[in-house]
Amino acid sequence: MRNILEYDSVELSPNGRDVIILDQSLLPNQEKFLHLTTAEQVFYAITLLKVRGAPAIGLAGAFGLAMCMNRFRARTLQAFDKEFLRVKRYLYISRPTAVSLMWTLDRMERCYYEAQEAAKDMSEPDAIKHIKESLTAEARAIKLEDVKKCLSIAEAGFSLLHPGSGILTYCNAGHLAVSRYGTALSPIYYAQQKGYMPKVFCCETRPMLQGSRLTAYELTKAGVDVTLICDNMASDVMSRGKIDVVFFGCDRIAANGDVANKVGSSMLAILAKHYGIPCYSIGPTNSIDFHAATGKDIVIEERPAFEVTDMYFDKPVAPKGVKVYNPAFDITPAGLLTGIITEKGITPPGKLAKLKND
């Protein structure tokens, strides 16, 4: 069985014409890699959670945009420009909450116009070639930067741990959800490599079971001591003194430190506050949306009812036609968090403004 760190969940083929993803919707029962070659395939891979996790979604968007432009046969810059904007806008709406997707696509657009300006004295075929190469290089650079950020996050989170630390985590913010290593799970991998042998309790994370299907899967493959629990068992393990710290990820962070993350995260933060356990949200600085003043300004995606009533069950587990409320995320108020861990270190939730200027 290969260690989870031996391969990445999102990649761009060497020729830049395929986005290669590990289909996370099939885990833990099947490891299947998909080669995506159209904007529509990338869009639905994101919306159907074949690729998921805010940084991985952002990377899939950047790779997808580069891939589509590499495959597009344009005779004129005008046609190339029109197609670029179409694909960018199309991928932009595939998931509304994770800010990493918008951040990477906006960055790719800036790269596009910079390359266009640099190629203004070239012939149209040469200019198009130059722009394609620039977009591909930019997408690859985004991934390399993300890997470095994850390593810095790992070191910052590791500073909070001791040998044998009990860690409670939620959803999946590990190697599968990013370019490499993870955000909320990266301190766990780092601690394991340092011989700390952390003891991880992993909430199953209803209704999509990212905890049981993905986090338990990847930590097991990495040799980490992990125990799976149902979401409603979190209070019990905290009350028994098994948890020293709570780590979970972030899909978007408001300027005041409110965090949008997988629905149920706020529940853990409330419990941690009650039991006096430090609770941290972990992610890269590009997850911070300074245009959102508070969590109330973050759009929360609502998912289909069948994810609650039918997904992963042989038969429906609820009466046919019952009303279902299925938000994908909830907001953890800044006041419930001990800190926010980014590649720039550990920051109090109310002090994020300084990261904007760093």
What is the distance between the alpha carbons of residues 91 and 100, in angstroms, rounded to a whole number?
A: 12
Beta-carbon contacts of 40 under 8 Å, excluding residues fewer than 6 positions away, are none
In angstroms and rounded to an integer, the radius of gyration of the C-alpha atoms of the chain is 21
Residue with tokens 């690859």: 140
Same domain, 239 and 105: no
Burial code (b: 16+ CB inside 10 Å, e: under 16) for 22-52 equals bbbeebeeeeeebebbebebbbebbeebbbb
Residue 86 confidence (pLDDT): 97
pLDDT in tens, 261-286: 999 999 999 999 999 999 999 999 98
Place 100 in a pLDDT band, splitting at 50, 70 and 90: confident
Place 295 in a pLDDT band, splitting at 50, 70 and 90: very high
- Of the residues 151, 182, 199, the one at which a domain ends: 151
pLDDT of 54 > 90? The answer is no
pLDDT of 358 > 70? The answer is no
Same domain, 126 and 81: yes
* 251: annotated active-site residue: yes
- The answer to whether residue 68 is domain-embedded is yes
Of 204, 196, 143, 128, which Cα lies nearest the Cα of 169? 204
- The answer to whether residue 9 is domain-embedded is yes
- Of the residues 122, 151, 180, the one at which a domain ends: 151
What is the distance between the alpha carbons of residues 211 and 217, in angstroms, rounded to a whole number?
A: 8
Same domain, 98 and 244: no
- The answer to whether residue 327 is domain-embedded is yes
Spell out the alpha helix ranges (H) of 4-123: 39-47, 54-71, 77-92, 99-118
- The answer to whether residue 211 is domain-embedded is yes
What is the distance between the alpha carbons of residues 70 and 75, in angstroms, rounded to a whole number?
A: 13
What is the distance between the alpha carbons of residues 10 and 157, in angstroms, rounded to a whole number?
A: 24
**Which CATH number characterizes residue 136's domain?**
1.20.120.420
User: How many domains does the chain fold into?
Assistant: 2
What is the distance between the alpha carbons of residues 84 and 155, in angstroms, rounded to a whole number?
A: 38
pLDDT in tens, 113-153: 999 999 999 999 999 999 999 999 999 999 999 999 999 99
Residue 59 confidence (pLDDT): 96
Same domain, 176 and 292: yes
* Parent domain of 314: 161-357
pLDDT of 312 > 70? The answer is yes
Same domain, 190 and 117: no
Residue 170 confidence (pLDDT): 98
- The token pair at 293 is 């003043």
**Which CATH number characterizes residue 191's domain?**
3.40.50.10470
Place 169 in a pLDDT band, splitting at 50, 70 and 90: very high
Burial class (CB in 10 A: 0-12, 13-18, 19+), 17: middle
Residue 96 confidence (pLDDT): 80
100 against 275, higher pLDDT: 275
Same domain, 323 and 194: yes
Share of the chain above pLDDT 90, in %: 92
- The answer to whether residue 107 is domain-embedded is yes
Same domain, 176 and 308: yes
Give the residue-averaged pLDDT of 77-94.
Answer: 96
Place 1 in a pLDDT band, splitting at 50, 70 and 90: low
Residue with tokens 């300004």: 297
Place 205 in a pLDDT band, splitting at 50, 70 and 90: very high
Place 179 in a pLDDT band, splitting at 50, 70 and 90: confident
From 8, 251, 310, 314, active-site residue: 251
Same domain, 138 and 104: yes
- The answer to whether residue 156 is domain-embedded is no
Same domain, 97 and 214: no
Give the residue-averaged pLDDT of 322-345.
Answer: 98
**Cβ count near 16 (within 10 Å):** 20
Give the residue-averaged pLDDT of 66-90.
Answer: 96
* pTM for the predicted model, two decimal places: 0.89
Residue 75 confidence (pLDDT): 86
Same domain, 58 and 168: no
- The answer to whether residue 99 is domain-embedded is yes
Same domain, 68 and 170: no
What is the distance between the alpha carbons of residues 186 and 28, in angstroms, rounded to a whole number?
A: 20
pLDDT of 200 > 90? The answer is yes
Compute the Cα dihedral for 264, 298, 59, 39 and give only its sign: positive
Same domain, 194 and 133: no
